[in-house]
Structure formats: C-alpha cells, structure tokens
Structure 1
Amino acid sequence: MAKAKNLLLYITLVILGTYFLFLGLTKAQGFLGPFFTAIILSLLVLPLSGWMEHKISRSGASLINAILLFLISLVFLGLVSYQLESFVEKWPKIKETMKPKIEQVKQFTVDNTPLNEEDLQLSDSKKASGLPSSAGSSGQAPQEKAASLLSTISGAIGNFLLTFIYVFFLLNYRRKFKNFLLHIFPDNKRQKVKSVITESAKVAPKYLVGRLLLIAFLAVLYAIGLGISGVDNFILVSIIASILSLIPYLGNIIGLAMAMAFGYLTSGETGVLIGVIITFSIAQFLESYVLEPYVVGDRVNLHPFIVIIAVVIGNLVWGVIGMILAIPLVGILSVIMLHIEALKPYGILLSKKEFPEE
C-alpha cells in the first residue's frame, strides 16, 4: 500500500512538474525564443568564427559573424516579402483562372452528393456574412487594433535584433561560459565535462552545416523541377521551399502549397500541377533516402517518433519558431547525452541507435 502511494505521489509530481515546466517555457518565449535561436546560429558559425580569430581579434570575428547572419536573414525576409507581394498582385488572375475549376467542383458535388446548388449557395453566403461579424466581434476600436498591431511588430523587430546581439556575446564570451560550466563541477569530473563540451561543440556545427548543405541540394532540385514544370518565380520559390524544410513535415507542405500557388493556381494547367507534385515527391524521396543519410549522416540522427513529438511540443510551446528550433535543440541534446555515460540510455532513446542486446 505504501509503495502504491509513493508511486502515485511520484506520478503526480511528474505531471505537475511537466505542466509548470511547459507553462514557464510558454511564458518565457519572449526571452528564450531569441536566446535559443542565437545559440543555434552561434554554433552554426562557430567554425568560421574560430578560423577568423587566427587573423583578427575574437571581438572582431564575433561582430563580423553576427552581422553576416543578420544580413543573410534580411535577404531571406526580403525574398519572402517579394513572394508575398507577387502573390497578392497575381490574386485577381488566380481567382479568374480558378473560377471554372471551382464551378466544376461544385457541379461534381451536386451530381454525386446529396447536396444541391441551394445548399452550396447558402454555405457561401454564410461564410461571406460570417467574415464581417467575426472581425467586428473583437470589440476593438480601430485605434486599439492599430496600437496592438504596432506593438506586435515592434516586439518582433526587437526580438529579431536581440537575437544577433546574443550571437555576438555568445561567440565573444564563449570561453567564459565554458569555464563556468567546468567550475560548477567537482575537480575529478572537470576533464570529463571538458571532453563532453569539446565533442558537442564539434558535432553540433557539423550537423548544422550538413543541414545547410541539404537545403542547398533541395534548392537545386526544386529549381530544376519547378522550372521545367513552368512555375512562375521558380528560383525564389525553390529557395524558400528548401529553407522551409527546416520545419519538419509542415515546412514541406507549405513549400508544396506555395509552388502550387505560383504554378497551378496561376496557370490552371493540369501539367503544371503534375510537375509540381512529381518534383516534390522526387525531392522528398532523395532527401529521406539519399541526401540526409550521406550529407547529414549519423551526427544526430534522431528517431522519427522523437522528431514528431519534438515538433508537436515545439509548436505548442512557441509556435512556428518552436517547430524550427525543436529539431536542432533536441539533436544537440542527444549528442550531449550520448557522450555522458550516465545519460547515454536517454541519448540512445532519442536517436536511431539501438540498445545493446542483453
């Protein structure tokens, strides 16, 4: 009876601890989101920063790398903005092109389902009338909406700039942080801790660089396939779609939807639709079975089930940015655990490695 009570107590404490942990992470998104993003970016440019420090000071190398990452992010945001603007400009043409297709779908629905034309018209009228009511139900005055939007935009810009400030300090003072980690452990364990830090610092950048190479290969594959298929702005679409592959599963769906928007929805040609689907199917096959095993290799190699759990939790905690950061963070955590004997079973659980047979 006592053991049952203790087990129940432990389970209750674990559930409560998990709940408050994720609640705290959600509340701390404004700080932890940019900070963890900066950690990933810092690890990404760590080899380049180390090479540059042989020629200039560490402060100078850290500043240059932070500015370089900032400029690259601006270029990506510019590409996304251009694509959105292009999509808005093409929207009237898309509506005109897809109007016959929508009518065909409606006619097929009427012919093959119990619904009739009156039902479909009633559904459309409800949607049309529901938009103004839902927009006005918030009860916010235009001034309040403008102030809220301005606050959101300024907060996003602030976090964006803060990320690269973090990158500079993490690169410039990484030795101080390393020494701090060494000194919080007993003297007899410092050598082991130093070994773990060194190994993790080597593996994590290699993994992230491997992901970048994978993105570059995908961009080329997408560009070839989408260009042959006749997709407008296929180069920009390919670049954005390949970068979106950082978001597991959802990123590929968004990339496919974007390619269809600039391909099939604009032209209305079935051949373009087939070309887009074939391009993404071939690219995903090559990514999963050829590119990822050889380019990324087994540097992290997370278990697919763990990937799904990490992405879902990341989305629940921090939204899209959480989905992007989930895989690199869990991957780095797996690397660290695999190099610590006491935590090795957890590292094997996260990775594709198998436990030794008893």
Structure 2
Amino acid sequence: MITKKSLLLYGTAIVLGTYFLFLGLTKAKGFFAPLLTAIILSLVVLPLSQRMEKKMKRPLAAILNSVLLFAISVGLMALVSYQVRSFAEDWPEIKETMTPKIEQFKSFALKHTPLDQEDIKEAKNSSSKMDSGTSDRIKAFMSGLSSFLANYLLTFVYVFFLLNYRQIFKDFLMRIFPDEKRDTVKTIITKSAKVAPQYLLGKLILMGLLAILYSIGLGISGVDNFILVSVIAAVLTLIPYVGNIIGFTMAVAFGFLTSGDTNVLIGIALTFTITQFVESYVLQPYVVGERVDVHPFFVIVAVILGNMVWGIIGMILAIPIMGIITVVLLNINELKPFGILFSKKEFSE
C-alpha cells in the first residue's frame, strides 16, 4: 500500500527528475539537437534509401540520401536569402513610402492615446542606445552563425552513419532486451520508423495546398513576388504555430511595406485568416489526419517544451518525437496508460 509519505517522495523525485532532465537537454543542445535532427531525417529518407539499396551498395545510397537532404536544405535557405536580399535592396524605397504612414500613426497616437511627445522621444533614445551596441550584437551573431554551420554540417554526417550502419543499432536494441520482449521491440522499431516519413508526407502535401491558397490570395492582394512569398510561408508551417506568424509578417514586409497601400494589408490579413481556417479545420485533419497519433493538446505542450529547450529546432522536432514516444508507450503494457493519454485515438475496454 502506498503511504502519503512514499507518494510525496515519488512525486518529488518525478518533479526533480523532470526538471533536471530538461535542464540537461537545454545545456546539451549542441550535442543532442543535431543528433536528433539527423535521426528524424534518417527515418524520413529511410524508405528511399531502402529502394536505392536494391540497385547499389548501402554506403553509396547513404551518401546520396545525405547529399539530397543537404541540397534541399540549401535550396530552402537560398529562397529565404533571395527574398531577404530583395527586401534589403528595396529598403530605401520602403522607407520613403512608409515615412508618411509613420507620421500619420504618430499623430493618431498623440491624439487618441495617453502618449505624448516625451514618450516618443524616449522611444527614439532607447532605439539609438540599442544601435550603439551593434558591434556586440554582430560579434554574437557571428559566433552563433559559426556554431550553427558546424551543427548544420554535422547533422548530415550523422545522417550518413545512421543510414549506413542502421542494422548495428537495430541489433543492439534487439539484444539488450530479453528474448520474450524481442517481438515487442521489433514492433516498436517498425512503427516508430514510419512516424517521421508519414508526418513529413502529410506536411508536404499540406504545404503544397497552402502554397496554392497563399498564391491566389496574395496575388489578388497585389503582393510583389507573391509566388515566392507563398512558397516560403508554406514551408515555414514546418514550425508549428510560430511559422504562420513569421509567414504573415514576411508577407506584410514584402507587400504592405513595399507599396504602402492599406488595401494590400487588408488583402494579406484576409488571405492568412481564411487560409489558416481552412488549414485548421479542413486540410490538417484530412491531409495529415492519422499520420501522427498525438492528441492536439499534447502537440501544443510538446511544441512549447521544444521551444523552451531548443528554440525553433525544438519546435520542429517536437511533433515527430512526440509521435514516436506515443508509439513506444502504446506498445509497452506497463506504460500503455500514458500512451492512451497522449494518443488521439479512443480506446475502449
């Protein structure tokens, strides 16, 4: 019988263990983030690698898949950098266009809010103080950039080794458990390996449909380079919830700020509002559907925790990792209640 004292002891141990687990993951981001990213990417390209291995040796297939993933990631970054460069080139024109709008906003704020000229001056002074620390921010940015590039390249090295030597890892998992548990372990490995590619397939279809919807709405609204902006906004949905906000901000930057036309801003807002409604209530349930069996509530929790631990990369990895954890829990009898809790399927006695 569990006493109140032992219950308190177990509860305290769980809370402290969870705290130090996430604290350790945060501190070890430089090691675990590239490794977990590589594991998810390896699972994504695993079906393609297995097909390629029927016609070539495994090391060559692993190299080609690693290079393919690298080329896709470089292409996506090139799209974003092209759009940012275009925005930078148009900045003088944008600044000239938006100056009257900013003055109108100041006049409106002074008339209809408690703000006065002193508040505006203080805001200008604080922004100038921030500008004085530009050199420090540049140094921090360069340091972060070098760390990102190192982890970025390391990820694809991991992908190669995971694909090429995956049988070793599978044999290891099979042998560390008793013989009577091997069928369960095999089932868990098989089902877990399907989570990431199924999730990505659903996301790719969803991104294609979103790109079409965004292109129609932004094109009608009069946004420059609306096709490119739509594609980038659709790709950003890989970052749950936050990606939609970034996409909207980018569309405003390349649409409203460039033209200064309020009708463009209204068109952008309507486009994203309608598209997000269609995505949430039509496309997401039927396109992604049952590809990742995680309850929506725990999807939000996982994304928040991922952001707290590893930032954007944690948010991207949160859903497929949560899907794999749910598969594992559902196939272990002792932990099945937790799997049922995380799953969005209804289980009957």
TM-score class, shorter-chain normalisation, is: over 0.9
| Alpha-carbon contact 1:303-1:351 (below 8 Å) kept | yes
Aligned residue number for residue 97 of structure 1: 97
| Alpha-carbon contact 1:214-1:295 (below 8 Å) kept | yes
1:217 to 1:132, Cα distance in 2 relative to 1, 3 A: closer
Cα offset, 1:171, TM superposition: 1.0
User: Does structure 1 residue 288 correspond to structure 2 residue 280?
Assistant: yes
- The 5 Å alignment of 1:172-251 reads 172-251=164-243
User: Does structure 1 residue 82 correspond to structure 2 residue 85?
Assistant: no
| Alpha-carbon contact 1:300-1:335 (below 8 Å) kept | no
Cα offset, 1:192, TM superposition: 1.9
Cα offset, 1:120, TM superposition: 4.1
TM-score, normalisation: structure 1: 0.90
Q: Summarize deviations over 1:42-71 as a string: whole Å, max 9, x none.
A: 111111111111111111111111100000
Q: Which amino acid aligns with 1:87?
A: F
- The 5 Å alignment of 1:36-185 reads 36-116=36-116, 118-132=117-131, 146=139, 149-185=141-177
Q: Which amino acid aligns with 1:273?
A: L
List structure 1 runs of 4+ shifted beyond 6 angstroms: none
Q: Distance in 2 between matches of 1:207 and 1:316?
A: 23
User: Does structure 1 residue 342 correspond to structure 2 residue 341?
Assistant: no
| Alpha-carbon contact 1:312-1:323 (below 8 Å) kept | yes
| Alpha-carbon contact 1:231-1:262 (below 8 Å) kept | yes
1:199 to 1:312, Cα distance in 2 relative to 1, 3 A: closer
| Alpha-carbon contact 1:300-1:334 (below 8 Å) kept | no
Cα offset, 1:155, TM superposition: 2.1
Aligned residue number for residue 3 of structure 2: 3
Q: Distance in 1 between matches of 2:167 and 2:127?
A: 60
Q: Distance in 2 between matches of 1:60 and 1:35?
A: 21
Cα offset, 1:355, TM superposition: 4.4
Q: Summarize deviations over 1:208-243 as a string: whole Å, max 9, x none.
A: 211122112212221222122111122221121111
| Alpha-carbon contact 2:293-2:326 (below 8 Å) kept | no
3-state SS in 2 of match to 1:115? coil
Q: Distance in 2 between matches of 1:125 and 1:275?
A: 31
Q: Summarize deviations over 1:236-293 as a string: whole Å, max 9, x none.
A: 2112111111111111000000001000111111221122112212221221122222
Q: Summarize deviations over 1:67-105 as a string: whole Å, max 9, x none.
A: 000000011111111111112122222222222222222
Q: Summarize deviations over 1:145-165 as a string: whole Å, max 9, x none.
A: 65x654433222111111011
Q: Which amino acid aligns with 1:223?
A: S
Question: Number of residue pairs matched?
Answer: 348
Q: Which amino acid aligns with 2:91?
A: W
Cα offset, 1:303, TM superposition: 2.1
User: Does structure 1 residue 271 correspond to structure 2 residue 263?
Assistant: yes
Structure 1: tracts of 5 or more residues without a match: none
| Alpha-carbon contact 1:314-1:326 (below 8 Å) kept | yes
Q: Which amino acid aligns with 1:268?
A: G
Q: Distance in 1 between matches of 2:159 and 2:241?
A: 28
3-state SS in 1 of match to 2:238? coil
3-state SS in 1 of match to 2:345? coil
Q: Which amino acid aligns with 1:252?
A: N
Q: Which amino acid aligns with 1:233?
A: N
Q: Distance in 1 between matches of 2:40 and 2:17?
A: 26
Between 168-177 and 302-311, the greater mean CA deviation after superposition? 302-311
Q: Which amino acid aligns with 1:215?
A: M
**Percent of matched pairs sharing the same residue:** 61
